Every structure is written in structure tokens, then in C-alpha cells.
Amino acid sequence: MRESALTAALAQDVDAAFESLVILHQDRLYGLARHLLGDAHAAEEAAQDAFVRAYRALKGYPRERIRALMLRPWLYRILTNVVRNRVRGKRFALAPLERADGTPLELEDPAAERPEKLVERRETAHSLAAAVAELPDRLRLPVALRHIDGLPYAEIAAILGQPVGTVKANVHRGVARLRSMLEAV
């Protein structure tokens, strides 16, 4: 179902169309929560909590507001707020870097699949995951949304409630910091 058709259906009947919203966005929300929290169980709870909050919000919105929603940025924004509330003051655990579909995000090396290459790639992936976990919130989230989830800058800006220029700068700073952290290893 296309986003515009989904918003129209939600405006007509939230209860009837909400399942379609969940089916369309559950994997991406869970994937982002997994990247941010580093724990599958906590990510599942955060994604569920985000959907509950979205449902409650939609029930209180007038039809015009629902029709005007950009659903994906709106849902990501809810999820990032849920995650922030859950992790205040906590250290982030290391999480494997995966795409939204669950496939591992690995550095591609067309060389032979020799054991030493596999071990080297796993170590690099672990170092990258550790470096991402060490980034401050203001850099980690934009880097994850851009380079792991592949979202455009404008959508990330809508999710984070920041200007596009700020998002671009934070992605650039985050990548630069990751490079320097990985070079130091």
C-alpha cells in the first residue's frame, strides 16, 4: 500500500488501517531500534511502544492532520523519542550492524572467502559497531539513519526535527569521527 493511500485509509478509519501501517513499517522501526539499543528484546519493546504511541496519537488527530502526515518520518520520530527515554544515562551495548531486512551490513571484499579474510571482516565489523556505539547521540542517530537505513537527508531532518544542513553536518562529523576512531585501532 502506498503512503498516500495509507494516510487516506487511516483518516477514514484508524482501527481498520492501523494493521497495514504496522506491517509496512515494523521491520524498519525494529531495525533502527536494534541499531540504537543493541539488544533485540529492548528493540522489540521500543518498536511496540512506538506503535502504541502512534495509535494513540492517531486516535486523537483530526482527519485533516492524518491526511497531511508523512508517516515514515513521523514514526521514526516517535521511535527515536521512545529510545531516548529508555536510554537516558545508560551506555549503549554493541549491536551488529544490519540493514532493515536483517541482512548483515558488511564491508564488501570480492576476495576469496578464506578464513583469515572472514576473521578480518568480522573484526572490522565489530570495530565499526563499537565505534558507532561510542558516537554521541547527535551523531550516531543521523549516521545510522543515513548510512545504515539509507534515508535521504530531508527525511532524516524531518525525523530529528532539525534543518537539513544540520543533519548533513552531523552525518559528516559522525563519519569523520568514525574514520579517526577506526584509524586509531
Of 63, 89, 115, at which residue does a domain stop? 89
Q: Mark 66-78 as b/e (b = at least 16 C-beta within 10 Å).
A: beebebbbbbbbb
The answer to whether 79 and 46 have CB atoms below 8 angstroms apart is yes
Rounded CA gap, 119 and 141, in Å? 28
Chunked into runs of 10 residues, the chain (185 residues) has average pLDDT values of 85 93 92 84 93 95 92 92 77 58 59 65 76 85 87 91 94 92 79
Say if 100 falls within a structural domain. Answer: no
Position 66 scores a pLDDT of 92
Angle at alpha carbon of residue 6, lines to 28 and 17, rounded to 5°: 90
Dig out the grid coordinates for 141 from the structure. 542517530
What is the structure's pLDDT at 162? Answer: 92
What residues make up the domain containing 13?
1-89
Overall domain count for the chain: 2
CATH number at 17 reads: 1.10.1740.10
141: in domain: yes
Please tell me whether residues 70 and 149 are part of one structural domain: no
Distance CA(146)–CA(100), nearest Å, equals 12
CB atoms within 10 A of CB 145: 25
